[in-house]
Structure formats: structure tokens, C-alpha cells
Structure 1
Amino acid sequence: MDLSFETIDALWRPSYVFRHQHFKSRAQLHTSAISWHDSALNPKNRVDSLPAIGSSHSGSTRWRVDGAATFKTRFYAIPLDLLDAGHLPPLRVDVFVPDQGEYPPALKHTLDANRGVPLTHAPAISALGMSRYICGVLDAYCSRNRSFLDRYRRLPYGSRIIISHVEPTLGNVNVSIEPNYTLEGLTTSIANLHEAWTRDKIPLARRPPNIDLFDLCLVRQLHDSVSLVEVLRCEEKPELQGTVAVFKSGSDGFHHILHELKLMLTIPPHANIIGPPLATVTKKSGFGGKQGVYGFLIPYFPSGSLRDILPARSLAQTLCMSIKVRWCIQVTSALLHLFERARTFYSDLRPDNVLLDSEGQAILCDLEQRGSWHEWCPPEVLYSQYLENMLNNQQGYNTQAWDSLIAAYVRKRPAQTGETSFIHSKNRPWFALSRKSQEKAMVYTLGLFIYCVFEGLSSVQPNLAYRFAIEPSIGFPTFRQTPADIQRLIRESTVPRTDA
């Protein structure tokens, strides 16, 4: 079976059992004899020109691909004419392409359709045939539409560039622009946000200054929700001018961004937890003039996260025991602080979310409380999360077998306690736990984190859906480098609960 967004998305959901025949039929279709009309050897099926890897701007005079979202149907394509001129705010105008299963069979190899699906390393994504294809398509589109880059800066935040189909001749590819006016309407006004902070008793001295989105210039798109930017000006805090910082925002909504912002301002300071934001980022709405909140700025940590540092230093044999112990102690201290002082939980502990500062100290980030990947979930959370997935994906499976499956498990759904906000609904299994169970769940994830640190791994298990710059060579609970005493600590931390 070929990898694609559709197949990966189906494989990790319980509903896959009802879609197996669909994928089996499609696989048989793709493995049947290919006619000369559809063959990759037929000159008419060859892409007419792809920008060469390693040439200036990836061979494109106008565009660069910085990365892509999970499963590579959404790419971060950057217009270099605007970037080089210093006139490119982080507008998050991404390029959307069809599922890999819809590529013409003759082009799948050229565009790295299957190989690209699980990649997470930005340089590898930028070198994909599909990334170069996108640059070529957008070059051709700009040549036909000379005013597009002027229009680009006026597009609403989060607008989309849609490539509706894939074909060999770049100039014939249909490109459409979808302005996203809806997302502007979802923003909270800065006035309403400050009223909420007053209700939450956040002191004025702790509140960050405001900065306009157009006073930021994009440097690079690092992640779906993270942009590296330079501050061009900040009227409320001029000393921020020239600062290179991280702009964290949402491209589909802002609930989790505002939730994280609140936590960052209310959690008592700790040396190993990301501090209050440098600024709140706002933008005036094109309709009604609302000054909406789009995200916030936090310091940039050039060293990156432990996801890449751990395996790289382990291979280089520069990951000594004292460093491992120090990082684990610092992260443990941060978790204790969140649980005991801030009276909250941390549900997404992974090497990705532990940064290193300039002095090599571990800094815990990402306080959205969205949950985590399945391999990082404690069993009591994983089972509940699996059930949530079943309940949230009933549409299209109205069969007696599916209904029976749901009925057998729905009684096990955790009871709701306290607030049932949007934030709670997106991470119901964690919010439904008692404080005692939340603490145990945090200890479980800490055990897995300690395992990654002492084994020098990017993640706790190899994962079909994600491929890192340096893949895990083993997975939990296999040990190779961890001392016996630490192994016992990890095993005690990861004993499954039966009473959550």
C-alpha cells in the first residue's frame, strides 16, 4: 500500500477496519499493468521542468518551501521577492495540494509522493520533488499574474493557495487563491483579552506589549504554528526592534493560543519553563476594524530542541552522563512546579518540546494542553483518546457493526468534571482525570522522556507517520545505554494504572 495522507490518517483510527476494502481495491488498481498512455516512460508524462536541488532559492526565482504540515498536503511556500525586500509579514498563506493517492502514477516517483509523507526534517522536505514542483507551479502562476505578489500582502491571515490537480506541464496547473475571512472573525479583540486578564487578576506589570503583525518580517516558517520573525518596530517597547523571535499562532483557530498565553502569564516563574511572551501580536480586521489577537512572540532558541540534539550528540559521543542527569532533573523540576505551584498538568512531554538555551539549560515549552502522540500517552489516557477518536469519526460509518462497536465502549467514556470548554473538549482524557491520576500520567510521560534522554533518542518509538532527521534505532522498553538504576526508575514510572 502506498503511503498518503488518506492511508496514514485511516491507519491510526479505529475506523480503518471499515475502510480496508477501499484501500485494498486501490492498491490492486495501482499494481495492475500500466498502459503506455500512463507510463512514466512516456515523454508526455514527464514534468517539463523542476527547479534543481541546491541552486539559488532551490532553483526558483520567486519561491522557497520551508517545510510542510503533517502528511504533506499543506506546504509552507515563501515568496522570495517579498522576503528579500523585507516586506513579508508572517501571513501564513500556505499551499494546499491533493492527497498523494491522487497524483498521476507516472509522476509519483518524480514528486517523491510516498517518501515525503512521513518526513519532518525541513531540509529534507524542501528537497522533495513535490516542493520543487510547487515552486515551479507558483513561478509559472506569477508569470501569468504579475500583480499577484502585490495582492499577496493584502490577503487575510491564513488564506490558501490551492493547487487542485497535479500534471506534468507546470504552466497548465490550475492555481486558485482562497482568502480566509472567516479566521479574522475568530480572533479575540485585544480589548476583550485585556478584560479577561483583569478577571484573571493578571497584574499590569506582567502583561506583554502589543505589536502589529505588519511590524514583523518573516525569516523562516519553522512549524505549522511557529514562525521565525524579525521585529521591525514596536511602539510600546522600542527595544524589541531588530529582535529575532518566534511568533506562535494558529492557522485554523486561536483557542489554544489564547489558553497557552493565559498559562504563560499566570504560571509562577521557573528557570526551566518558558517565560511570559515578549509581545502580543495583533492585526486590524479588514471588516469592522477589530484589533484582533493572532498570537504572541517568545524568545528564539537557536540550539533547537532535544529531538534533534539527543540523537546527534549520542552518535557523536558527546552526550555525557552528567548532561543527561542535568536535563532530566531540570525537566522534572519544571513538571513539579507546574503541578504543585501552578496547579495544572503538562500533557505533551516529548523531546520536541524541550529546548536548550544559550547556556545548555533545558527549557520546557508548548503549554497548550492539547494532549500528545499516542506512543507518548499513558495507557489510561490512550484508551480514552482512542474512544474519543471513535466517537468523533462516526460520520460515514453508519453501519450496524460500527454502531455495535461504539455501544460496547461508550459506557467507558470518562465522566466530565468541571468546565467543558473548547479546550477541554479537545483533550478530554486528560481534563477528565483526577489530580492524582493527572500526576501519575505526568510521571508516566516523564519516564518515557528519561528513557529518550539516556538512550539518546529523538522519540520513544519509531513511528510510521513521522520520520526525523535521525530516526530512533530502538524503541521502549528496549535498553542499550541506560544504567540499571535508571532503568528501574523508568520501569517504575511507566507501570500502567488500572484505577484512573
Structure 2
Amino acid sequence: MELSTRAIREVVHPTAAYYHPVPVIKEASETPKSHSLTSITNSNLEDSWDNSLLNPKNRIDSLDLPQNPLWRVDGCAGLGTQYYVVPLFLQRIPPMRMDVFVSDSQSPLIREQLEFDKASHTKDSTRLPRIAIARHIVRILQKWTTSDFKELKLFGDFYRNVPFGSRIVLEDMSLDTRRVRVGLGLNHDLELKLLSLSTLTSLWGSHFKFPQVIDFFDLHVVSVLHDSVCLVRIHERLYIFKALTSGAKYLYHELKTLCTLEPHANIITKPIHIVTKKCTFGNKKAVAGFTTYYHSKGTLRDILPVLRAHGQLRRADQLKWSMQLTTALEHLKSRSATYYPDLRLDNIVLSEKSDIVMVDFEQRGVWCEFAAPEVNAIEYIRLLATDEEVPEFISEKYRKVLQGLVPAFETLVEDQYTNPQSGFNLAWIALSSVEQEAAEVYMLGRVLWCIFEGVSGPQKAAVWQSYRWEPDLEFPEYNRTPPAMRRLIDECTKGRRETLSKVVVRRQSRLVLKNKAIDDQSADDVKVAAQRFWSEEIEVAEKFLKERELRRRKGKWNDNYYERPNLKQVLEALKAFQDEIC
């Protein structure tokens, strides 16, 4: 089964439990009486020629980049439907985040020629620019820029005046760059939802201390690192600029959280600048984002496998990072009374002194490959309650369950910042403080496994993203982890369940059944297997939540249901192991 955005609902998400493939009825193969064998043969030949790569119209004339390319592709998101592009011809590039959007509903011919399947999971700036669709986009934008704007200076004026987060939309995708229609999606809605400093002050109180305020156009983009993160230059110094084009509520929640956290050496510092932008309508000067320090060494996701491959992953560093991470989590719990649901290798960077720094405090959470089963139980309910493609009678059932867990959930899922005390993560809001800590310990166990095994993630081939250095084993397999750490990781991850990867895996750019020959399976086989898996998982989640509610009413609920160690006990175990090997 080809990996696409459709596959998310049909296979990857628990919504697959309610997907019903339409059966294909195979008719007996016989020659229709109304047509001669000759006419059918000719028809087939014509159809084959129309779709053949030998036909000149079905071949790309070139994927060579222009001699002086005007654009660059830095990465992508949305399973290959959103591409981060940078206009190289501008003297100063403001962080407008005018990304390119392409529908993945293309003909098989176009998908194959432009390597849409590879782009669906390849996101980094090293590999992505080599893929056909990325090179095709550069050629399309080159033609668009030079033909629609008589002078490049005119494009610069246009670029600076569109709403923040506007889109370049490639319509009528073709292998011929001359036939592709370039449209614009002006994101006025986002700018309307951005809030001014005065509005945020009224929400957070006059005592709230904002960092230094600078203008949006004082930033110059060096590269786009993520759908919400750019590397920018301000007065010859490099910073990270954080902004969200999908909405503002998580951005403002993160800004408030970072400004109010008790400082810690292994947690990202308070923002350096508040970045404001004059909006198109109403003359409003709104907060578009903020800046933080740039840590050039990168994330543990990329660092661990490289160090291991070169024989440079030292036990002392593994222990140091594990203890720093545990200490930082315990600090957040005891000193700032908050939770951290985003614990994964992507959100752990290394400082210049090779100490860990935790980043990303939107509090959106991680997908089930890292999350604790009790968190997943609620998250599955949320997805089924809010996904528009789930049948109404099904979503209504789960909305009632969600209402019992988080009475105010309907206001929290709206795309508007309302200054909630605990953020917008329904699954974590539904948990008590003790339950939250137990869920953090679970995620910590998964990260410790990655650190001691020296791998980029807990899965060999994650559905949503491939890595430059793919893991050679899958959690909870052990190869390099010392026995004492294996015992600790197993204690931290008590209650773990099998994941979808035990049934369905990504092989290169396709979703396939793990234990069946590729030639002996169809896309519907994959969907049926995913439906069976998710149906069982949802049933387990419902039983767990019913038991939790029943015991809570009777006052017999153990908030540490799986009896995992707490953060202090994890730290003690790490220190004991350190003393043992020193």
C-alpha cells in the first residue's frame, strides 16, 4: 500500500478501526460479445502507450537545477505535501514561511516519476533536495518567478506584503513545468488570530515580563529547519525563530510556559526576543513568534547513531545525558508544577559543551510509539471523537467519553488561544499529577533505550519519517544496553503494548504486512490488518478507562497503575549504576 495522507486515517491512526474497504468483485474473464478481439487488443495497446514511459509526453524533460537557482527546498512535512522553500534572490529573506503545497492525489504516473513516495517520509535537507519532486518544485518556481514578475525586485515587494504563513499552491501538477499552475493561498485567517502584546498582557497580567521586542523584518532566514522552526540571523548572530503557521494557540502557550519556568541548566532558556509583525488588516502589530539560542550540534536523534557508528559513544556520556534528562524532568515537576508530554530524541539538543537541552514546550505530546499506554488510551478516544471522517454515531459515542474525562474539551479543541492553565493536551489534562509523572517515566524509559542502544528512534522504519541513520533494532530488543539499564528501562516501561509496527511496517515507501510476502498481499489486506489491530487497541483503551473511572469513584484507584518508578527513583538507579562502573 502506497504511503500517503489517506493512509494515515486508513492504517496509521486508530480511525482505521472504522474504515471499511469496498470489496472488489472480480468478474469472469471473457471477451465481451459486443467487441471483437482486435478492437480490445488495439484499445489495450493505446492505453498502454498513453501510460508508457517510452511515450515522450510521460517523461520529465529535465530535473537539472537551473544554473543559478532562485529557490531552495529545505525540507518537507505532511507526508510530502508541504515543502519549505527559500527565495535565494532576495538580499534579506524575512521568515514569511510561504511554503509550497502539493496535493498527493496525483496520477500513478506522476507520483512515480516525481518520487512522491520517497518524499512522503524523507524530510531532511540533506536527502530531500535530491528527490525528483523537490527538484521539480525548484524548476517550477524558477519559471513562475521569472515569468510572473518582470523584475525580481517586484517579487521582493510582493513577498514582504503577503500575510504571514501564506501558501504557494501547485495546481494541475504535470511533468511539464510549463503546464503547472501556481496559485496563492493568502493566510489572512492566521493573522486575524494572532494576538497583540497588549492582548496577551491582559490575559497574562500586567506583572508578566516579556523579553525584548523586535520587528519581524529584522530577521533574515538562513535555513528552514522544521515546519515551525527557522534558523535566522539578527545583527550577524544566529538564533532559532519559533512560529506556527497552522495556528497560534500552541505558540502562545509555549511562550507563556517558557517565560514562567524556573530556570534549569538542561532546559531551554527563556526566549531572547518577542517577534512582532504588522498585520495586513486592522493595522494590528501582533506577536508572530519568538527567538531562542541556536545549538549547532543538533539533536540526539541525529547525534547518537553517528557517534555509535564511529565508536565514539561513550558510557560516561550516555550516563551523563540520562541523568541530566531525568534531573530536568524532576525539576519541571517539583519546581514548575508542569508536565512534559513531548519527550523524544528530536526535542533533545546538545549544547556546545555536549550537555543536553530540552526544547519544545508546546505540550502537544508524542505519537504512540513513545507515549505511555494510559496516555494513548485517552488520545485514541480524542482522535475518534474529533476526526471529521469518523461516522457521526461513532464520534458522538467517543465525544461523551471525552466529555467525562475533560469537561471543557470542546473549547480546548477550538483553534483559538484562550489562556488555559494546563495547555491544550486533552490526554494529559485528564491525568492527575502522579499519573503524569508515571507517563513521563514511561517516555523516559524509551529515550534511555535509544541512548544506550545508540539509535535514532524506537522503530526500525517509522511510518511518518525516515532517518539518515535508521535503527537496526526495535524497542524493546536489546543489543548494547548493559543489564542494569535493561532492568531500569523495563521497569520504566511497564504496561507497554505492541505497536502497529508488529503488524504493518514501512518498507522503503510502502506500507506492507510484516509477516507476509509482498507479492501475496494487497492494499486492502493492509487496511484490514490495521482495522483489526486498532479495533483491539480501542477495546483495551475503553476497558482501561472504564476501570479507572470505577476505581476513582470508589477511592481505590492507584494513580501509578503500572507501578513504575518515579523520577527520583530513576535518578537513584542511574547514580547507582554510575558508582558501579566508576
User: What TM bracket, shorter-length normalisation?
Assistant: 0.7 to 0.9
In the other structure, the counterpart of 1:482 is 481
Letter paired with 1:116: A
Shift of 1:20: 5.0
In the other structure, the counterpart of 2:144 is 141
SS in 1 for 2:375: helix
SS in 1 for 2:308: helix
In the other structure, the counterpart of 2:103 is 98
In the other structure, the counterpart of 1:431 is 429
Cα separation, 2, equivalents of 1:411 and 1:18? 17
1:384 paired with 2:378, answer yes
1:12 paired with 2:12, answer yes
Residues 238-253 of structure 1: matches in 2 within 5 Å?
A: 241-253=235-247
Letter paired with 1:228: L
Shift of 1:411: 4.1
In the other structure, the counterpart of 1:70 is 78
Aligned residues: 467
Shift of 1:228: 0.6
Shift of 1:310: 0.7
Residues 297-336 of structure 1: matches in 2 within 5 Å?
A: 297-336=291-330
Larger Rg: 2
CA offsets 1:338-395 (integer angstroms, 9 cap, x no match):
0110001000101110110100000011111101111111000111111111111254
- For the aligned residue pairs, the C-alpha RMSD in angstroms reads 2.4
Shift of 1:489: 0.6
CA offsets 1:42-74 (integer angstroms, 9 cap, x no match):
10111222234xxxxx75521110111130101
In the other structure, the counterpart of 2:459 is 461
From the superposition, tell whether residues 124 and 270 of structure 1 become closer, same or farther in structure 2 (CA, over 3 Å): same
1:165 paired with 2:172, answer yes
Letter paired with 1:304: G
Cα separation, 2, equivalents of 1:331 and 1:23? 50
Shift of 1:290: 1.1
In the other structure, the counterpart of 2:524 is none
Shift of 1:283: 0.5
Cα separation, 2, equivalents of 1:396 and 1:197? 37
Query: TM-score scaled by structure 1?
Result: 0.88
Does the CA contact (< 8 Å) of 1:414 and 1:432 recur in 2? no
Shift of 1:2: 1.7
1:41 paired with 2:54, answer yes
Shift of 1:418: 8.0
Cα separation, 2, equivalents of 1:192 and 1:406? 35
Shift of 1:222: 0.4
Does the CA contact (< 8 Å) of 1:60 and 1:136 recur in 2? no
Shift of 1:5: 2.1
Letter paired with 1:447: G
Does the CA contact (< 8 Å) of 2:384 and 2:394 recur in 1? no
Cα separation, 2, equivalents of 1:178 and 1:404? 34
In the other structure, the counterpart of 1:183 is 190
1:127 paired with 2:130, answer yes
Which of 265-274 and 37-46 deviates more? 37-46
SS in 2 for 1:188: coil
Q: Which runs of 5+ in 2 are unaligned?
A: 26-43, 414-419, 497-543, 545-557, 560-582
Cα separation, 1, equivalents of 2:388 and 2:158? 41
From the superposition, tell whether residues 411 and 285 of structure 1 become closer, same or farther in structure 2 (CA, over 3 Å): closer
In the other structure, the counterpart of 2:573 is none
CA offsets 1:453-494 (integer angstroms, 9 cap, x no match):
000111112312211111111111101011101111111111
Letter paired with 2:11: L
1:358 paired with 2:352, answer yes
SS in 1 for 2:325: helix
Shift of 1:191: 1.6
Cα separation, 2, equivalents of 1:478 and 1:62? 47
CA offsets 1:212-271 (integer angstroms, 9 cap, x no match):
11111111000000011011xxxxxxxxx2211000000111111111111111111100
Residues 343-422 of structure 1: matches in 2 within 5 Å?
A: 343-395=337-389, 397-398=391-392, 403=393, 407=397, 411=401, 415-416=405-406, 421-422=412-413
Shift of 1:414: 5.5
Letter paired with 1:43: P
Shift of 1:117: 0.8
Cα separation, 2, equivalents of 1:317 and 1:311? 10
Shift of 1:158: 0.6
Cα separation, 2, equivalents of 1:22 and 1:148? 48
Larger RCO, structure (CA 8 Å, separation 6 or more)? 2
SS in 1 for 2:431: coil
Does the CA contact (< 8 Å) of 1:66 and 1:76 recur in 2? yes
In the other structure, the counterpart of 2:439 is 441
SS in 2 for 1:51: coil
In the other structure, the counterpart of 2:472 is 473
In the other structure, the counterpart of 1:230 is 233
Cα separation, 2, equivalents of 1:404 and 1:138? 44
Cα separation, 2, equivalents of 1:414 and 1:476? 33
Query: TM-score scaled by structure 2?
Result: 0.76
SS in 1 for 2:205: helix
Letter paired with 2:148: N
Which of 457-466 and 447-456 deviates more? 457-466
1:261 paired with 2:255, answer yes
Which of 11-20 and 438-447 deviates more? 11-20
Letter paired with 2:186: P
CA offsets 1:187-216 (integer angstroms, 9 cap, x no match):
1101222333435x43x4xx3100111111
From the superposition, tell whether residues 489 and 413 of structure 1 become closer, same or farther in structure 2 (CA, over 3 Å): farther
From the superposition, tell whether residues 250 and 408 of structure 1 become closer, same or farther in structure 2 (CA, over 3 Å): closer
In the other structure, the counterpart of 2:163 is 156
SS in 2 for 1:292: strand
